[in-house]
Structure 1
Amino acid sequence: MNPFDGLAWTNRFAGLGPDFYTELPAQGLPEPHWVAHSPDCARLLGLPEGWHTRPEALAALSGNSLWPGMRPLASVYSGHQFGVWAGQLGDGRALWLGELDTPHGPHEVQLKGGGLTPYSRRGDGRAVLRSSIREFLCSEAMAALGVPTTRALCITGSRLPVYRETVETAAVVTRVAPSFIRFGHFEHFAHHDQLDALKRLADWFITHHAPECADAPEPVVALLKRVSLQTAELMAHWQAIGFCHGVMNTDNMSMLGLTLDYGPFGFMDGFDPGHICNHSDDRGRYAYARQPAVGFWNLHALAQALVPLLPGEPEAAGERLLEAVDAYRDRFASAMLGRLRAKLGLEGEDAGDQALADDFLKLMAASRADFTLSFRRLSRAEADVEPLRDLFIDREALDAWLARWRQRLTPGAQARMLAVNPAVVLRNHLAEGAIRAAQRDDFTEIERLLKVLSRPFDEPALPSDAALPPDWASTLEVSCSS
């Protein structure tokens, strides 16, 4: 008996009709093998114990067969890439398998790397092992950090060659989210004047993913405000952990405020507000310090796509939508300050808290102090300040700041700070170590690192997981092909 026969697939997105997608099978991996799986994501989906030992699972999640109830399709969307309208895009290497009814509500399941689709453009529809490992580990690491994100169930691999800068091997990541709908889905139908489809998409999304907006005087305005607030919270969370997305195009922005599409991402080592994690981003559009403004810009692009759905003159409709987007600014400011207060161990509110946080960040930037370690060592600075001082060049300036900080502290600060300042994040060199081992057919480092990243606020068994990066880490580059 197939242990997956009892899974219930609802497939609500498929009900929108062929304007929104193309149904087609995956191009499966030849002679697939398991690379990694996430027990935590499997529990989220309610998969049976030992699911990953079943040949049926390996076949389905490598694109070679279907479980009963799956309905594979690739969705169409458009978007702005690096601030320029890019026209029609779509799921060029992702294939939606269906929507699974889980103990935590419906979740869509996708294969990334399942072969060509009508939206692959000049691509081959494949994903490589290197990028698949990065996406798998970071999806699960971000979830453990409490950051809203898509999830990753597993990776399967194959000897199938894939041609990038070099010849690599193919892999498939199984991705999971309540919805993979992006800003770009709405932009697509607005740009092509498919207003009936645009309205159906908005109504569908509100019904299934934002039902509280349905009773608002203008549901679409309420939806945009909801997305704006969720995006503001997401941007604050990214900034607070030193995470850089790398490709914040509108087609990579989630309508649920999730971290979506892990490509050339990176966690900062030495703190540099101008840090660019994407080697392809030669103008620094998506530099760390610019991410909040880009989120705001992308919301304006979404607002423009929603204008046709409102009654009245477009100019007046646009003003109502822009008012909804403006909620982003106050929410981001308050969310960012709240996260910085927590990272500094501050209880309550004080008028000087913003300046206190800003001044610490300036000291970090001046010394290129390690982002994660600065906050982690600050968490223990009351007991032992020297490890923190070792990260800074101007120690007198740090000592002066610490005196101000201590005046704001209340009992229990260390425990509070250790609960929000991670010991371990997925630094590029940690991911690279797992990748290099996997390329030798050793997948144990992925499993080990996944366990460490699932408890990011605990001190790891290997001190090197939470140490300053090695010198060779500075030579690592990630790009849009990552």
Structure 2
Amino acid sequence: MPSAFGFRFDNTYRRLPAPLFSDCSPQSVSTPQFVLFNDRLAQEMGLDSKALSAHPEMFTGNAPLEGSEPIAQAYAGHQFGNLTMLGDGRAILLGEHLGDDGQRRDIQLKGAGRTPFSRGGDGRAALGPMLREYLISEALHVLNIPTTRSLAVTATGDSVLRESPLPGAILTRVAASHIRVGTFQYAAGQQDPALLEQLVDYTIARHYPALKGAENKALALFEAVMDQQIDLVVGWMRVGFIHGVLNTDNVTLSGESIDFGPCAFMDSFDPNTVFSSIDRQGRYAYGNQPSITQWNLGRFAETLLGLMDENTDAAIEKATHSLKSFSQRYEEKWHAMMGKKLGLFGSEAEDDALIADLLTWMHEQNADYTNTFRDLINESLPDREQYQSDAFQHWHQRWQARLGRNRKPLASSLCLMRNHNPAVIPRNHLVEQALEAASDNNDLAPTRALLAALADPYADRDIDDPYRQPAAPGERVYQTFCGT
């Protein structure tokens, strides 16, 4: 039966063996108050949004939700290549809500206090990073990229100490699940094949029920997760999104984007773009995201070898054969995506060169990634010097000729382009300005205005619209931070 607020909890994860989680309750806070409440998401989940929006204490440790059974999940992670035992250090899973739409969604509080996995941390979160996660996750959602969602940001009334005292907040995160590659790494580290097999069966039942009858469940799960991750990264590449900390603990088996610490969106096109202050070697640069995803999947495959085949050599051969197909699968989907960004139907031998030459020109000209593709949709290009160059004019003529050979009318090509090239993204300088206003001056107007602009990112906007403009030289953001 649903609670008074519409929650229907059915907490299956905590029925798994105890090594995968630890009982842990969120801690109370001084004066909970909603900063943001996602009314649309609440309604999608079948919740009583009007009633909930008057009770911020429900999203803290002050008033536990009926039916919730809070736990902190255990997991490991290759962080910048180094394996570490981790776990939810400042996140507490309340349980799994069954919505009216039949979807099962994790409800998690991020910044809700210390857990057994806090590793000396305070388990709390500052307002700025929680607003960033709300902004970016909801932006990815409307950009049609799989992602965890944000139901609310709740101010705690307490300060958290980082480099200086900052206003504290809790994010209510919603996810298909929080099962990660790192979850399997943790389970494999327990040296208990039965535990690992239980986790495989659970993940298949929850996310890939069509695989229940598979002859080799572990291999089938690996293949399915690889396909999901390829789709996810292709989506990131389409809109210029850079995750920033693509460790194995941030790779979900559901195929959702998760954890938005030092993430950012690329302005000028450059495959080497890095924003994260902790990514000093560029491991997680924009152009490295596909290869790092393949590397992370390799770590996932290692956890499953004993279940893929009793013979170690045979298991390695199966996993390696599958993993080697990543590059071809990714390239096929990436080229199909880029074709849609350029309004191409079907495929021609010249298409690869057409795509590559445009990206090379964009890199050389420091052209804005988002605006360049959006400009191509217009009947006439903006009066910008870069579009007058011989190199671009030659490319544009080739592209126009290719559109002329499409099997569908020009209007269909332009519609395809509009649906795959956003006019608005969360520009880094606008995100930082919004977070600074909220954290320093308790001013949420810039955050709400940015959310409003992002609500319909594919709609046409005037070329001079401030939400379409790259940062001016004095506004440019060169580094982003985790906030932990």
Q: What TM-score do you get using the length of structure 1 for normalisation?
A: 0.94
Contact kept, 8 Å, 2:219 with 2:319, in 1: the verdict is: yes
> 97, 106, 116: which is aligned to 1:100?
97
Contact kept, 8 Å, 1:34 with 1:156, in 2: the verdict is: yes
Structure-1 separation of matches of 2:80 and 2:368: 28
Could you give the per-residue CA deviations for residues 391-440 of structure 1, whole angstroms, max 9, x where no partner exists?
56x72111110010001114112232122110110111111222122122
- In structure 2, the residue matched to 1:296 is 294
Structure-1 separation of matches of 2:212 and 2:3: 38
Letter in 2 for 1:127: A
Contact kept, 8 Å, 2:427 with 2:470, in 1: the verdict is: no
1:203: how far off? 1.1
Contact kept, 8 Å, 1:78 with 1:90, in 2: the verdict is: yes
- In structure 1, the residue matched to 2:12 is 12
Letter in 1 for 2:449: R
- In structure 2, the residue matched to 1:424 is 424
- In structure 2, the residue matched to 1:399 is 393
State how 1:293-332 maps to structure 2 within 5 Å: 293-332=291-330
State how 1:24-423 maps to structure 2 within 5 Å: 24-55=24-55, 58-86=56-84, 88-104=85-101, 105-380=103-378, 383-387=379-383, 389-391=384-386, 395-409=389-403, 410=406, 411-412=410-411, 413-423=413-423
RMSD: 1.8
- In structure 1, the residue matched to 2:437 is 437
Could you give the per-residue CA deviations for residues 372-406 of structure 1, whole angstroms, max 9, x where no partner exists?
111111121xx11234x4456x7211111001000
Structure-1 separation of matches of 2:380 and 2:141: 31
Structure-1 separation of matches of 2:79 and 2:164: 25
- In structure 2, the residue matched to 1:452 is 453
Structure-1 separation of matches of 2:477 and 2:144: 30
Letter in 1 for 2:95: G
Letter in 2 for 1:95: I
- In structure 2, the residue matched to 1:474 is 476
Unaligned runs of 5+ in 1: none
Unaligned runs of 5+ in 2: none
Structure-2 separation of matches of 1:447 and 1:344: 32
Contact kept, 8 Å, 1:5 with 1:68, in 2: the verdict is: no
1:11: how far off? 0.7
Count residues with an aligned counterpart: 474
3-state SS, counterpart of residue 127 of structure 1: coil
Contact kept, 8 Å, 2:5 with 2:51, in 1: the verdict is: no
Task: Give the fraction of aligned pairs with identical amino acids, expressed as a percent.
Answer: 35
1:165: how far off? 2.5
1:108: how far off? 0.6
Structure-2 separation of matches of 1:226 and 1:448: 39
Structure-2 separation of matches of 1:354 and 1:37: 44
1:320: how far off? 1.2
Structure-1 separation of matches of 2:270 and 2:304: 36
Contact kept, 8 Å, 1:4 with 1:67, in 2: the verdict is: no
Letter in 2 for 1:236: V
Could you give the per-residue CA deviations for residues 120-162 of structure 1, whole angstroms, max 9, x where no partner exists?
1132211111111110011111010000111111100133121
3-state SS, counterpart of residue 99 of structure 1: strand
Could you give the per-residue CA deviations for residues 275-322 of structure 1, whole angstroms, max 9, x where no partner exists?
112111111100111110000000000000111223321121122122
CA 12–406 in structure 1, closer or farther in 2 if over 3 Å, else same:
same
Structure-1 separation of matches of 2:243 and 2:477: 19
Contact kept, 8 Å, 2:22 with 2:73, in 1: the verdict is: yes
Q: What TM-score do you get using the length of structure 2 for normalisation?
A: 0.94
Structure-1 separation of matches of 2:154 and 2:15: 29
Structure-2 separation of matches of 1:192 and 1:203: 17
Structure-2 separation of matches of 1:29 and 1:427: 33
Could you give the per-residue CA deviations for residues 66-122 of structure 1, whole angstroms, max 9, x where no partner exists?
121011110000111101112x10011111011000133111110011111111113
Structure-2 separation of matches of 1:96 and 1:479: 24
**Which segment is superposed worse, 100-109 or 399-408?**
100-109
1:3: how far off? 6.8
Contact kept, 8 Å, 2:39 with 2:49, in 1: the verdict is: no
Structure-1 separation of matches of 2:395 and 2:316: 46
Contact kept, 8 Å, 1:428 with 1:476, in 2: the verdict is: no
